[in-house]
Amino acid sequence: IMGNNIPRLKEVKDYLGKCFFMKDLGEASYILGIKIYRDRSRRLIGLSQSACIDKILKKYNMYNSKKGYLPMEVKHDLSNELCASTLEEVAYMKKVPYALAVGSIMYVVRCIRLNVAFAQNIVSRYQQNPGKLHWIIVKHILKYLRNTRDTFLVYGVKPDIELDVTSFCDESWQCDKDDTKSQTGYVFIVNGRAIDWKSKKQTTIAMHSAYHYVQEQVETGEIKLIKVHTDDNIADPFTKPLPRGMVIDHAKGIGLQLASSFMRTCDYYLDKG
């Protein structure tokens, strides 16, 4: 139960308590592997999956690995040509927990680590017959998560604006080497913080039917389209690998920040003592 009206929240709790047995555990601090930290002085909430990431790293023997600085390097260009092709390689890859690792990464992507969405989407395409290089890239993603385990997705308010909704979208045209299909990425921003995102390979090569719907919404004034330079488009990381500087800049644009640079006054540091 959440809201900004404490008396109303109490009414709801009392009513539910009469309907069935319910125990009040107080303020939420941990939900489905996500730790919640608060900075009440600035009316901010930070979500962290550091503990969840630690479990994932230990599960796949990557807890003490080298730290990575990119979820996926620009030079990495995966395709079906790199799938296991020899009996020896197939036998080797059967012992590798490839699909499990990809699934673990997908969970943190769905929760708060949206800056890894593109890399996770790419490696997920080869779960049926991954090759050794595919597995190397999966471990590369895990190394990046290890290096950025203390990243928070931060939500707050804009005092002068009641509700500010913006969406950024991007497309890498015919970037898939196997079928020449394009990659689509989008992120919805509310008051400067990401609330919904996706990185996905398009299902067809033809123009998407949604184009006509968007065109209608533009004509009625419901949507305003604005061209954004690639350096300023925070959906760019959802369609292609980027150099380190751009990865850092775009992460800030979607509300991701390291604990050391942001949550200085919240419960996180109080817990650290």
State the Cα–Cα distance between residues 269 and 8, nearest whole angstrom: 31
State pLDDT tens for residues 235-255.
999 999 999 999 999 998 899
Chain center to CA of 84? 29
Between the alpha carbon of residue 225 and those of residues 36, 72, 169, 182, the distances in Å are 35, 30, 11, 21
Contact 52, 61 (CB under 8 A): no
This prediction has a pTM of: 0.84
Contact 230, 168 (CB under 8 A): no
> What's the one-letter identity of residue 154?
V
- Structural domain boundaries in the chain: 7-273
Contacts of 126 (CB under 8 A, 6+ apart): 78, 80, 82, 83, 98, 134
What strand order describes the sheet that includes 193-201? Answer: 165-172, 183-190, 193-201
**Does 150 score more than 80 pLDDT?**
yes
**Does 127 score more than 60 pLDDT?**
yes
Question: What end-to-end distance do the CA atoms of the chain give, in Å?
Answer: 29
Give 238-251 as a DSSP string. Answer: GTS---HHHHHHHH
State pLDDT tens for residues 194-205.
999 999 988 776
The first and second tokens of residue 146, run together, are 């290890």
State the Cα–Cα distance between residues 261 and 267, nearest whole angstrom: 15
State pLDDT tens for residues 152-190.
999 987 777 778 889 999 888 777 777 778 899 999 999
The DSSP element (H or E) to which 179 belongs, if any, is none
**Does 257 score more than 90 pLDDT?**
no
